[in-house]
Each structure stands twice: as structure tokens, then as C-alpha cells.
Chain A
């Protein structure tokens, strides 16, 4: 788990530096007496900025922190990272309620941004205070609007978006006698039915115990990402139960489960992580940010075995994030400067080239149009994800998006792993959502 290890080493190094800072401070105070005020926290002084994130933002891996520290002498960045966003959100909410223990910069997933903008605007800094209004033209309008509070507060700056594609293992495809060319595959799985049909072909000649797909939960998530309205309509009314688009995604996922196409893994679980290197599945629906995750889990041994093709059934968006500064942060001004720099087009473009997180800054999208990734067999990821980002629908976001999605994927997992009947699972999902929201 390179991500976790990276987090630990960052912390340790930061701790060492922190010790050095404290020592220097003490020495300065001893030499200069009371007249020396410039060494205190503030402009030009030593500042340790804490950044608390989930999943893999990839800033550290792409060397962006190191560069920022070089550009701003005296600034030290300390990152903590939680793998599962659901765990991260729980702990963030607890700390926000207590008003303590918060980092200077907190990551917010797009599925949660509605909750921040509609319910918790008083807990985060309004970035207009630091002049964020001037950045509006840098970002895609929908990305910007979602993080704007009722009174026009700017509560976070967009990092990446999650245009969707399909990642697959060329070596497993070859072994099963399937074509490996990404253009040919994109034609074959132009529709989701085509994708499932290809899955059945794969299953008939699958090498080892490998499955076609990692989990039906990820299939559902990627399909629902292709829809404009998912759980709420534009007026904020809950519509998911009667949403035909959601039902289509559900039905296809049930079909995949019943055809035995899935490796029955739980996304973000340790077993799922192990399966990347073990080659337990041949395809995985991948939003752009998943590329970095695949690289991290599959390791150097996976290089060149993976490829990326256009998604069945058209373009969509899954995830993407924001960086926000909580009111209880210690160094708000410095935190904003860091957020502004990390989300600027140049940095977003570099992050995409190194880690795969697709930029939400419009200026960066043009910059990365020609990007290719050797890990993914030199797939033209700039073009594939760029086209997907352009064609993806602007989604209606709701306060409980993430919680509802979790209940639905849970119910789908019951069909997948326990053979629960789809009708029973659907009623379980309904009960689960009522219990979550009520």
C-alpha cells in the first residue's frame, strides 16, 4: 500500500522538520530576546500547513508539495490521507462539529459538496475573503457553482473531475482470445449490452480464476455517472426510486452479477487492493483518478499490461474533488495560497500527466490533450478523458448522494455475493436509504 506508506513518511519527515523549526525558534528567541518578532508564525515565518485528504490526490507523488516548499521557504506541508472516503467524511464531520483537530486544507468529494454548500457553509472559510472571486473563469462553470453557498460564499476550489473510461488488462484479454486494440474494443462495447456480451465471451475462456469485472458496485457507479439526474431532481426533490436511468444501471449490474461476471470484491477493501496485482479481474470501470490508484496497487509489475478504452454507453463523470479551508484552521491565509497554487491550471495539468487526476481548470484541459501514459500501453489518456469530460452531463447534486449510492451498491453486492433476488435487494436498498436519510 504505497499510499499509506507515503503518508507515514510524510508525517515523519514533517515531524523531524517541526522539531527543527521549534529548535530554531527557541534559539532565535534566546539570541534576539524580545525584539525579534519576525520568526513568529505569519508572513515570512515558519509555517507548517496540514493537508488532510482521502483516496489518492497524488500531490505528494507528483512532487507538488516539494516544489511548493521550495517556492515558499519556511512553509512545510504535512499530509494525512484516509483511503476510504466514507471513513474520511465521518471523521471530518466529527471534527467539524467539535471545531477542533482540523487540518488547514481539507479535501471534499463532489458527492459531499452539496452538503458543504447547503448545510455547513458557516464551518468553512469563504474564500472570497482572500480574493478567490477572481479565479472563477479558470474553472468549468458547473464545478464552480457546486461549491458556492446560498449567499454566494466560495467554499472550495475544484481539483479534478472524474471523466469515465474503461481500463482493461491486455494480457488477460489476449489469453482469453479477445481483441486488445482499444479502438476495436470501443466499437465492440459501444453499448453496455455489448460490454456484458463480451464479458460472457471472456468468462468462457477466462485464464485462471480471473473474472471480467472487479465488482458490480463499480459497474453501477460508472453507469449512474453517465446520467444528469440521479438521486435528486433540479428542485432538490428525491427521485431515485422512480428514476428510469437509475433502474437501467441497476438492471445491468444485476445482469452482470447473475451472469457471474464479477470478482465479487468490495471496492476500497484490502482484498480489492490485492486483486490488482493478482490479476483477479480483466476490466475495471475507471474514472480518471482511478489511473493513479491502479498504478499504486498494481505496481511496476503491472506496467504495460494495462490499457484504457472509451466507456460503453457514452461519456460520464464519477467523482472529482475540492479543496476547502475550515474556519477552525490555524493558517487560513497560507492555506488558501496553497489551495490556489495546487488548483491552478499548470499544477492540474502536471498532476494529470503524472497521476491521472483529470483537471477541472479549463485552461489545463487543452494543455493535456496530447498526454499519453506508458503504464497504460501509451494510451492517449489526454484525448480519451478530454473527450469524456467535454461530453459528460452536468450532474444534479444532492445532500445525500453518497449515502444513497452506498445503500444501492450494498444491495447490489447482496445479489452479487449472496444470490439475493433482485426484488429483495431493491427493497433492501429502499429500506436502507430510508434509514440513512430519515
Chain B
């Protein structure tokens, strides 16, 4: 960075204007960036910062939605209670398993899809746009349709399974089955989006590398592993981080699968986001819900931090090679 900066020529200076008008202009030049940024910071303060701080404040009290005037100081009680809360751990575990079940296949499939879309073929632009369509669908619409498909008695999925002689699966009540159902909706919605990001990354890999590899007798498969994948590493790190954050906050899909705020009769697919909602808007324990929100925030910060650390260590190792 510093190297390129010193090499580039200095920007041309404007002709100095007359002195009196100049001071006003200079003042405008100094302060106008703040004026331009003000709308963003106002909105951020009102809808980002304030809720964040207020949530932290609420999380230290016992507050019920029916009686918001009666706040009872609990200190860190809401947080310590979470550690002994079986449902909290269940939802944390579910968030993790659903996260893995949805993120891993999603990214692997996106990679393969991107690789295919990178070939020269007829209607390439159409196909590239088409894979983005699920992303443009609303969560609610997609989940409700999938809920019908995964119906136990009259669902299309069980009908298809029946054709090949498999007994109907209870996609709502089975722990693994219900988590697969939720993950399917996530995978369906996000695979195309990630494929396009990978595609953009692939197109920035110099073509000469492939030619050189081909000259050395590398097959398509080996080219993919030894040229494409290393070239995509920063892109992959990015998608992993974004998908992880998305998985940690997963909410709409599990809520709408059955419309159950408990994530099923045994909390079998209740995620952290859904548990927060159940506490806050199902049972009206606002203090407890606020504490869960903060734990989620800390969790995401830790995960992203760990991710960044691993990525940095890897790239340093690479540089040292």
C-alpha cells in the first residue's frame, strides 16, 4: 500500500481562490464530510447504537411486557440463569447443528455451481441470474411452501419417499428430520447467492495459471483443487464468516416451519434467535430476552474473531513459504 502511494503523482492543486471566499470554502471543505455522514450516523445512533445500549440496560432487570413500569434490578442474574437453563443449551446446540447442516452443503454446492457457471455455455447470463432467484424470495413465502412439501400426512416429500418404498418421515417432530427440513430452506435460499460470489472470485484468477497447469498435464479436477481453490481462499473465508453470522441469527425459517415459537414440541429445532423471541414475545420476559440477545452478540464476535485469527495465521504461513 505505502509503496504504491508514494509512487503515484501528487494530485493537482486547485488555483488558490481569493482569500475571503477561500476561508468559507475551506471551512465547508473541512466540515462538509461530516454533514454528508450525519444522516447515516443519526440513523445508526437511533436504530443501531441506542437499541444496543438499551438492550444491555434492560438485560440487568426483570421486566415483563404486561407491566413495563415495574422494573426489578437483577444485576447479572439474567445471564447466570442462562447457564443453568436447559432450553438455552438446547437452542445453542440446535443453532450449531443447524448451522453446520445448512452452511457446509450450501457452500460446497455453491462452489460446484460456480465452477459450472464459469464454463462457456449457452444462456450463461440467464443461468447466472436464475441462481439468484431464491435469494430474492421472501423467507416467509419460501418457508411456508417448504412446510407444505415437508408435511407428514399430505406432503410431497413423503409422497416421493413412499414411491421408492421409504416410510413417511415426521419432518416436524423428529429431531434430525426437522433440522434437515429447516436447513433445506436455508440451503435453497442461499446457495445461489454464494455461487455468484464464488464466480466473481473465480473470474479474478489469472487465466495463465490454468494454462500453465494444463501444460503440466493437470486434469480439470486437479486444476480445480490446485488453482481454483487456493485462488478463492479469501472469498471462501468471506462466505464462511457471513454464513456463520447468518446461521447464528437463524430465526424466520424455524419460526415458520410450524408456526411454533418453541421450535417444535420438544424444542427440537429451536435456535437461539427463536428462543430469544419466545422469551421476549411469547412469555413477555423482556429482561431475559435482552440477556440472550447480548449473549448472541458476544458469541458472534467470538466466532468472527476466531475465524479472522485462523485466516490470518494461514495467510502468514503462506507468505512465509
Contacts and interface: CB of A to CB of B under 8 A. Distances in A.
Interface of A: 84, 86-87, 90, 93-94, 97, 115, 119-120, 264, 266, 269-271, 274-275, 278, 280, 403, 410-411, 413-414, 417-418, 420, 428, 431, 435-438
B154 A274 contact: yes
Given A266-B258, A271-B154, A414-B265, A431 B173 contact: no
Contacts of A414: 265-266
Which size class do B's interface residues fall under? 20 to 34
B67 A93 contact: no
Contacts of B86: 431
Contact of A435 (B87, B152, B172): B87
Given A417-B170, A418-B173, A280 B66 contact: no
B51 interface: no
B211 interface: no
Contacts of B262: 410
Contact of A90 (B174, B258, B266, B282): B282
A87 B281 CA distance: 10
A406 B65 CA distance: 19
B173 A94 contact: no
Contacts of A269: 258-259
Contacts of A435: 85, 87, 283
Contacts of A436: 283
Interface in B176-222: none
Contacts of A274: 153-154
Given A93-B66, A94-B65, A428 B148 contact: no
A336 to B, nearest CB: 24
Contacts of B258: 266, 269
B266 A271 contact: no
B96 interface: no
Nearest to A217: B265
A418 B66 contact: no
B176 to A, nearest CB: 12
B68 interface: yes
Contacts of B67: 119
A271 B257 CA distance: 12
Nearest to B81: A438
B254 interface: no
B290 interface: no
Most buried by A among B148, B258, B282: B282
B283 A84 contact: no
Contacts of A266: 172, 258
A431 B172 CA distance: 22
A417 B154 CA distance: 17
Interface string B257-291: 01101100110000000000000011111000000
Contact of A271 (B68, B153, B174, B265): B153
B162 to A, nearest CB: 12
Given A87-B259, A271-B151, A418-B266, A93 B65 contact: yes
A130 to B, nearest CB: 25
Contacts of A275: 153
A270 B148 contact: yes
A438 B67 CA distance: 15
A417 B173 contact: yes
Contacts of A264: 152
A275 B67 CA distance: 40
B266 A280 contact: no
A257 to B, nearest CB: 12
6 contacts: A86-B282, A87-B259, A90-B261, A93-B65, A410-B266, A438-B285
B147 A270 contact: yes
A437 B65 CA distance: 13
B267 to A, nearest CB: 9
Contacts of B261: 86, 90
Contact of B281 (A94, A271, A438): A94
A261 B11 CA distance: 84
